[in-house]
Amino acid sequence: MTSVPPTAQEQSGFVVELEQFSGPLDLLLHLIHEDEVDITDLPIAKIADQFLAVINDLGLNQAADYLEMAARLLRIKAQMLLPRRLGDDEWEDPRAELVRRLLEYQQIRELVEWLGAAAARRAEQFGRGFAPEPPAAPPAPLVIDLNDLLAAAERVIALIPEPVLHRVVPRPLDVEGATARIEGLLAERASFGWRDIVGVHPTLVDVLSAFIALLELAKRGALRVDQEGPFTPIQIHREPAREAR
Amino acid sequence: MSPLAKLVEAALYASARPVTVEELLTLDPHAGAAAVRAALGEIRDTFAAGDHGVELVEIAQGWQFLTRREYAEAIDRAQFALRPRRLSPAALETLAIIAYRQPVGRSEVDEIRGVDSGAVIDKLGERGLVEIVTRGEGLGRPLLYGTTPQFLEILGLKDLDELPRLEELSVALRPPPTAPAEAE
């Protein structure tokens, strides 16, 4: 593992370089100043290549802000290469927006220096008992007895609205119960109707349970199901011979 | 010194923060703002004339006793008092933008700096240097930030008017439009 230290050193070098710049605009300004080029007449191809080379060297592949700027530079570079007619008044310099942002940022950098100097100058004087901002005072301890607490809890609980968004309904399909009921009917009668199983006003769940039970019993051969036509009453008949099997 | 000047001096001594004239007015219901200002001037002159280690300074829209600059190093070395933590370049950039564009939203700060500034703004808020002042009109009614009196205090400014005017900076914000020049 002797090769690790130099690698780590290189990486820490990258970190220092990255922290040197507070963002892609800062890095761009640095490149522009280093080249001593006119910011309003940016040699975009040159600056774009340098920017790409630097973020490549710095290993900033994860820094989305830098990548976004790289993409922007490449787009401007491409736009600058497009042919344009002489005297075309409609032509807008694709660099204009970037130049405006750079100038704006450069102005902010100038203000930063001013603010930094002002803060340093202020730090030469001490107020009486300089103290960091006091944290917000902790709330006073609660004085409350159990009854008050319970009453308060009840009030809160009473205020909780019924959840109306979605209710998960269990499916209380009672196939076993329906099966028992049908078997009871089979024992009594040789044939009976659907209504005899589910009653006059069945719920959806009753209908489903009974229907599944019916099909299951029919499969087992305990009964036979007849229906004269679609939507006509279902008749159920005992099948003693097959049940015996 | 006048009785009012001595009362104001005592009040300033009792406070660890700059005290505004309005606050000082509550000391004596009969004293007017002019009398309080006169008293402040009296105290300042007394301390300036009489060879003292502290001076009365107008700062952050108020007044405060501060140690004289020449003793900064000695006090610092002896660790009698803590210097406030220095602000990072990112924090200063964000402060500069908020100070000049206030009330300003996060997205505008992000755009000018070219990087996400949410965390920096949050930290400045924790230090009491910026605060939410209102909500914007745009989509989602964004929170808009402005600077606080604490901001003036750490910079030693009386008020925001003491910040350099943008015209005084060497870089003009709006470049002359380049398109017409190109077309000629």
Q: Which domain holds residue B72?
A: 3-78
- More confident position, A164 or A157: A157
Cβ atoms of A51 and A27 closer than 8 Å: yes
**Top mean-pLDDT range of A38-52, B86-100, B164-178:** B86-100
Q: Which residues of B touch A22 (CB under 8 A)?
A: 89-90, 93, 113, 115
Which pLDDT tens digit goes with each residue over A91-106? 778 888 898 889 889 8
CB burial of B146-176 (b: ≥16 within 10 Å; e: otherwise) equals: bbbbbbbbbbbbeeeeebeeeeebebeeeee
ipTM for the assembly: 0.83
A43 occurs within a structural domain: yes
Model confidence, pTM? 0.61
Q: What is the CATH number of the domain that holds B135?
A: 1.10.10.10
* Closest Cα in chain A, distance from residue B36 (Å): 21
Measured CA to CA, the distance from residue A97 to residue A66 in angstroms comes to: 17
Q: Is A213 exposed, middle or buried (0-12, 13-18, 19+ CB in 10 A)?
A: buried
Model pLDDT, residue A33: 84
Angle at alpha carbon of residue B168, lines to B163 and B169, rounded to 5°: 90
Instruction: Write down the pLDDT at residue B184.
Output: 34
pLDDT of B25 above 80: yes
Considering only the beta carbons, identify the residue of B65, B170, B179 that sits closest to A128. Answer: B65
- Judged by CB atoms closer than 8 Å, whether chains meet at A111 and B100 is answered as yes
Q: Which residue of chain A has the CA closest to B74?
A: A124
The overall average pLDDT reported for chain B is 87
A226/A18: higher pLDDT = A226
Most confident range, picked from A78-92, A125-139, A223-237, B125-139 = B125-139
Q: Is there a single domain that holds both residue B94 and residue B137?
A: yes
The reply to whether A57 falls in a domain is yes
Confidence of residue A88 (pLDDT cuts 50, 70, 90): low
Tell me how far CA of residue A55 lies from CA of A16, A62, A73, B183, in angstroms. Answer: 13, 10, 13, 34
Cα of B154 to nearest chain A Cα, Å: 6
* Res B40: pLDDT: 96
H, E, C per residue of B87-125: CCHHHHHHHHHHHHHCCEEHHHHHHHHCCCCHHHHHHHH
pLDDT value of position B41: 95
How close B98 comes to chain A (CA, Å)? 11
Which one has a higher pLDDT value, B84 or A175? A175
Q: Give mean pLDDT, residues A132-148.
A: 72
Tell me whether residue A131 is in a domain. no
Kindly report the average pLDDT of chain A as a whole number: 79
Beta bridge partners of B55: B66
Bridge partners, residue B58, by sequence: B63
Higher pLDDT, A181 or A20: A181
DSSP assignment letter at B165: P
Residue of A19, A26, A130, A133 best to disrupt the B interface, most CBs of B under 10 A: A130
Mean pLDDT of the B118-132 span: 93
Same domain, B93 and B164: yes
Closest chain A residue to B129 measured between Cα atoms?
A133
Rounded to an integer, the average pLDDT of A138-156 is 83
By residue range, what is the domain housing residue A179?
Answer: 175-244
A193 DSSP β-pair partners: A235
Q: Is the pLDDT of residue B82 over 80?
A: no
In a domain? residue B84: no
Structure tokens, A105: 């940022």
Within this chain, do residues B99 and B133 fall inside the same structural domain, yes or no?
yes
Buried-exposed string A58-79: b where 16+ CB fall within 10 A, e elsewhere: bebeebebbeebbebbbebbee
Contact A126 B100 (CB under 8 A): no
The answer to whether residue A189 is domain-embedded is yes
Q: Which of A95, A112, A130 sits opposite B92 (nearest CB)?
A: A112
Report the percentage of chain A scoring pLDDT > 70. Answer: 78
Residues A14 and A117 in one domain: yes
Q: Indicate whether B47 and B8 sit together in one domain.
A: yes
Span B64-93, average pLDDT: 88
Contacts of A93 in chain B (CB under 8 A): 178-179, 182
Domain count, chain A: 2
The residue-averaged pLDDT of A74-80 equals 87
Q: Which two tokens stand for residue A90?
A: 């409609």
Residue B113, domain member (yes or no): yes
Residue B131 lies in a domain: yes
Label residue A201 by pLDDT band (50, 70, 90). Answer: confident
Query: What's the rounded Cα separation, in Å, for the pair A135 and A236?
Result: 80
The answer to the question of residue B71 being in a domain is yes
Does the pLDDT of residue A241 top 60, yes or no? no
Pairwise pLDDT comparison (A67 vs A131), residue with the higher score = A67
Tell me which of B62 and A24 has the higher pLDDT.
Answer: B62
| A13-26 core/surface letters (b: 16 or more CB in 10 A; e: else) | eeeeebeebbbbbb
**Whole-number percent of chain B with pLDDT over 90:** 65
State residue B13 phi and psi, 5-degree precision: -65, -35
The pLDDT of B105-120, averaged and rounded, is 91
Contacts of A69 in chain B (CB under 8 A): 114
Per-residue pLDDT, averaged over A11-36, amounts to 71
